[in-house]
Structure 1
């Protein structure tokens, strides 16, 4: 594995997990289609149960992914609070708790030098969500350790 971080910017920062996004999810969706067709062609308690379980498996996959992302967001919130407390001037550091999680998610890609200006924009309501903050970042810092 290379020790050099991959190049990353707004256009390339989204992370795709090939196993989840291109194998597991399509298989689970196909399973719903197959089970649904079987239920329509030969309705029975067994085919109804198979269709129900097919939907349950897709929902389980979605719930597991959402929980992993929720934990990741909590870690980002903590990580950014520590980083901002270290980097921001006192007047802004005192207002870290006013930043929304989405803003913190976007701010993590910014360099230390541009954080104060971006935080001011966030607190002024100019940058409301993660996407707006990410688009405003000029000196992109890659984050390659995401779930």
Structure 2
């Protein structure tokens, strides 16, 4: 498996990104075209509206369900890893970091997690700064 870094950590889901969305966008483009060029403007406008709703719903639901669950799992993983390394509860530091900072810390390997967490808390590091500060990137290949 390829190693993961800041430059390649974005992940695509081919059925959604490269099949479903192009198809729905093509149908939407045709329905908008027909709503502007045919005599049946009302029905084609309605059909265009349906495709817009389908596109938005598919995107929102797929993202919402997966990310909500993933966020819970990442928090639990960080708590477990931090406790395993230090013997202390991560919750004491967790409330001082925002969600995005927490999620960026998941890429830090065990030997970098504690110092980087302390830096993130003390210096209020941005997500980008946290990710760039990681020397040995710990890949997260199972996320959605």
TM-score, normalised by the number of residues in structure 2:
0.86
In 1, Cα distance between equivalents of 2:7 and 2:24: 29
Which residue of structure 2 aligns with residue 95 of structure 1? 93
Which residue of structure 1 aligns with residue 19 of structure 2? 23
Matches within 5 A, 1:39-58: 39-42=35-38, 43-58=40-55
In 2, Cα distance between equivalents of 1:83 and 1:106: 14
In 2, Cα distance between equivalents of 1:89 and 1:120: 15
Which residue of structure 1 aligns with residue 69 of structure 2? 71
CA RMSD of superposed structures (Å): 2.0
In the alignment, is residue 137 of structure 1 matched against residue 137 of structure 2?
no
Deviations 1:16-41 (A, max 9, x none): 11221122112222221111111111
Count of residue pairs the alignment pairs up: 142
TM-score, normalised by the number of residues in structure 1:
0.84
- Residue 114 of structure 1 aligns to a residue whose secondary structure is helix
Distance 1:44 1:87, change over 3 A: same
The structure 1 segments of at least 4 consecutive aligned residues displaced by more than 3 Å after TM superposition are: 88-93
Q: Which runs of 5+ in 2 are unaligned?
A: none
- Residue 111 of structure 2 aligns to a residue whose secondary structure is coil
Which residue of structure 1 aligns with residue 2 of structure 2? 6
Instruction: Kindly indicate whether the alpha-carbon contact (under 8 Å) linking 2:83 and 2:89 is maintained by their aligned counterparts in 1.
Output: no
